[in-house]
Amino acid sequence: MKQYEAVIQVMKENGGYATLGYLNQHAIKVPGSQWGTKTPFASIRKIVQIKPAFFRIKPGLWGLVEYKDALLKKFSLDTTAAPEKQEEFNHTYYQGLLIEIGNYKGYKTWVPS
């Protein structure tokens, strides 16, 4: 399995989208994929940036082009979404990124309900 196919598989298993942190943790563990590079995280970042199968949803959040319409609607990024809904996604998105970074570094994290 090629590296970009592993990234696609992980995204499909996650609903068609993933953060770079999520991809870094899961794509290199896909059975049958080979990551013979010393910098697999840089390879994953390059894959989502240059392969036409991917699109950038927000900084650090990528999706599969085949899921684009559904993802834009899910995250309220379509042009018909109410401004409050778009703002809510922005706060949640960045809060989630901070939690992922904290978890990745081994910190105890908490999000209020």
What secondary structure does DSSP assign to 40-83, as a single string?
A: HHHHHHHHHHH-TTEEEEETTEEEEGGGHHHHHHHTT-STTS-H
pLDDT for 78: 59
Helix or strand (DSSP H, E) at 23: helix 20-26
pLDDT for 79: 52
Specify the CATH class of 3-104 in words. mainly alpha
Q: What is the pTM of this model?
A: 0.67
Q: pLDDT digit of tens for each residue in the chain (113 aa)?
A: 999 999 999 999 999 999 999 999 999 999 999 988 899 999 999 999 999 999 998 888 999 999 998 888 887 775 555 655 555 556 777 788 889 899 989 999 888 87
Q: Where are the domains of the chain?
A: 3-104
